[in-house]
Amino acid sequence: GNSVTQMEGPVTLSEEAFLTINCTYTATGYPSLFWYVQYPGEGLQLLLKATKADDKGSNKGFEATYRKETTSFHLEKGSVQVSDSAVYFCALKSNYQLIWGAGTKLIIKP
Amino acid sequence: DAGVTQSPTHLIKTRGQQVTLRCSPKSGHDTVSWYQQALGQGPQFIFQYYEEEERQRGNFPDRFSGHQFPNYSSELNVNALLLGDSALYLCASSLRLGPSYNEQFFGPGTRLTVL
């Protein structure tokens, strides 16, 4: 069946460091892929998405490219800020539902 | 523009009781999905409603049921509560058609604790 695997956290970085959070998926066909972010005490927010192979989603300095060859959708940011501290979820769309990874907690230290 | 709203925010019940959670979708959205998020895990899909009918269901027992009203709002009912039902219940709304049909917008959730 369809599934999403993302790197375990927590990931701890210093401010202005480069961020990569790995996400790989297993799916039939070419599902749409998403990154959601959950800030402390808040609900899930859509961060970015990609709907077909080689698409690059981007928002707030974050980027992710839909790689069909490696079935990956890694999240990257060139320079993280303390305000980026949150839990990040990778997800894929399968029929009507979203299938989620377990989430990666990101901690940014000043 | 109001986003997705859910009520109540928190709820404490005892085993065997029944609970109803409510959701109002984002303005203009016609589809509602429900998810269960256990602590430290990703959300798990419960079901989705469109045109007042359940369109798809995840791997949850019949104790979990739902309803969608003509104004697109929705309820999630859980009967015979178990300790393992303690979780954050998330409602998401979306549009069935249009360029953003893939995007689901989430409410803040209802935290259910079963004692």
Average pLDDT over residues B24-48: 94
What's chain B's average pLDDT?
93
In this model, does residue B1 exceed pLDDT 80?
no
Please identify which residue in the block is written with the tokens 């990257």: A76
B40 three-class SS: coil
> Confidence class of residue B98 from pLDDT cuts 50, 70 and 90?
low
Q: What is the pLDDT of residue B69?
A: 97
Q: What is the pLDDT of residue B16?
A: 97
Q: Are A100 and A85 in contact (CB under 8 A)?
A: no
Q: Are B75 and B62 in contact (CB under 8 A)?
A: no
The shortest C-alpha distance from A42 to chain B (Å) reads 6
> Confidence class of residue B61 from pLDDT cuts 50, 70 and 90?
very high
Please identify which residue in the block is written with the tokens 């959300």: B43
Average pLDDT over residues B8-16: 97
**Which residue numbers in chain A have pLDDT < 70?**
none
> Chains A, B: CB contacts under 8 A, how many?
53
Name residue B13's beta-bridge partners: B114
Which residue is closest to A46 within chain B, CA to CA?
Answer: B105
Q: What is the pLDDT of residue B100?
A: 66
> Confidence class of residue B101 from pLDDT cuts 50, 70 and 90?
low
In this model, does residue B96 exceed pLDDT 90?
no
φ, ψ of residue A83 to 5 degrees: the values are -70, -10
Average pLDDT over residues B78-103: 88
User: What residues in A contact B108, CB-CB < 8 Å?
Assistant: 42-43
In this model, does residue B2 exceed pLDDT 80?
no
B106–A51 C-beta distance less than 8 A: no
User: What residues in A contact B41, CB-CB < 8 Å?
Assistant: 102-103
Average pLDDT over residues B52-61: 94
